[in-house]
Amino acid sequence: MSDDRPIGVFDSGIGGLTVLKALARRMPGENLVYFGDTAHVPYGSKSPAAVARYSAAVARFLAGRKVKALVVACNTSSALALGEIRAAAGRIPVVGVIEPGARAAAAATRRGRVGVIGTEATIASRAYTKALLDARPGLAVKAVACPLFVPLVEEGWWRHRAAALVAREYLEPLRRARVDTLVLGCTHYPMLKPLLQRVMGSAVRLIDSAEQTAWETEALLENSGGRRSARAGRREFYCSDAPKRFLSLARRMLGLTVSNVTLHPFDI
């Protein structure tokens, strides 16, 4: 039997497309439906109550698309709203991005010194610190909020000199802490990966949770018998505001042909 239902993926904006790309690369035969809540981006500067409200609304929309699994490709939502998302999704299994990334970082660090960068809300939640210490007790964890990174990426400025200036300022405490592994605790941040690597130095391992999240989603579907047996799946894209801008950035980020983005605003 082949389960043709799609995998749902969502983020506050375009950053979660890095997770969608990893899912498509690992499981090219699966149908994927993506929602970017561009009307409310960034989630990282919002209150926990607002993040929960927006995340639950998106989860209900994707549940209505009859998805067979829901990937929360947003670290802020994963940190603050998994309970509300699971309640909105009902029986649909939900995969967050924090624990897969934390496990990968805990396994990768050589000296037990791990840095985490993320939105203000993600860092304030201490979700990564807890997940890292659960995965490997005794780690020295240094977490730094980088609130300007998301708007820079959403503006398409990941190669702009302004991004370089901001990155050097934000990452200096992590350089002083001599971390050997750095978790990119926001799905927008992989677009800044070459810049972050230059600032941190080649000896620091950067952890992007997208690949690990894709692996865990694949394992979930394998174990439940929910895989789709096909060579190529379809891709659907929705956003809550500015679909033309979403389309332009999605094409640049994915390096793939994104033919259409459907506007679906939320009245919340």
141 and 218 assigned to the same domain: no
Is 187 in contact with 18 (CB distance < 8 Å)?
yes
188 and 90 assigned to the same domain: no
Give me the catalytic one of 9, 33, 74, 116: 74
Can the peptide bond before residue 93 be classed as cis, meaning omega within 30 degrees of 0?
no
Angle at 231 between CA 225 and CA 234, to 5 degrees: 90
Q: Is 186 a catalytic residue?
A: yes
The first and second tokens of residue 70, run together, are 């829901």
Q: Helices 209-224 and 17-26 meet at what angle, rounded to 10?
A: 50
Candidates 11, 76, 29; CA nearest to 48 is: 76
Q: pLDDT at position 166, please?
A: 97
Candidates 76, 24, 13; CA nearest to 218 is: 24
SS3 252: helix
CATH at 203:
3.40.50.1860
| DSSP conformational letter for 44 | G
The first and second tokens of residue 229, run together, are 């047996």
Going edge to edge, which strands form the sheet with 205-208?
140-145, 113-118, 181-185, 205-208
Give me the catalytic one of 145, 186, 192, 210: 186
- The pLDDT-based confidence of 84 (bands split at 50, 70, 90) is very high
pLDDT at 198 over 90: yes
Q: pLDDT at position 154, please?
A: 86
Q: Domain boundary at 209, 239, 255, which?
A: 209
% of the chain residues with pLDDT over 70: 99
Q: pLDDT at position 250, please?
A: 87
120 and 176 assigned to the same domain: yes
140 and 105 assigned to the same domain: yes
87 and 217 assigned to the same domain: yes
91 and 26 assigned to the same domain: yes
How many Å apart are CA 210 and CA 110, to the nearest integer? 21
Over the chain, what is the mean pLDDT? 94
Question: What is the residue-wise DSSP string for 114-170?
Answer: EEEEE-HHHHHHTHHHHHHHHHSTT-EEEEEE-TTHHHHHHTT-TTSHHHHHHHHHH
pLDDT at 268 over 70: no
Is residue 201 in some structural domain?
yes
| Number of domains present in the structure of the chain | 2
204 and 120 assigned to the same domain: yes
The answer to which of 131-140, 192-201, 211-220, 258-267 has the lowest mean pLDDT is 258-267
67 and 119 assigned to the same domain: no
Is 182 in contact with 205 (CB distance < 8 Å)?
yes
Q: pLDDT at position 256, please?
A: 66
Is residue 138 in some structural domain?
yes
Q: Domain boundary at 194, 209, 224, which?
A: 209
Structural domain that includes position 192: 98-209
Is residue 180 in some structural domain?
yes
112 and 243 assigned to the same domain: no
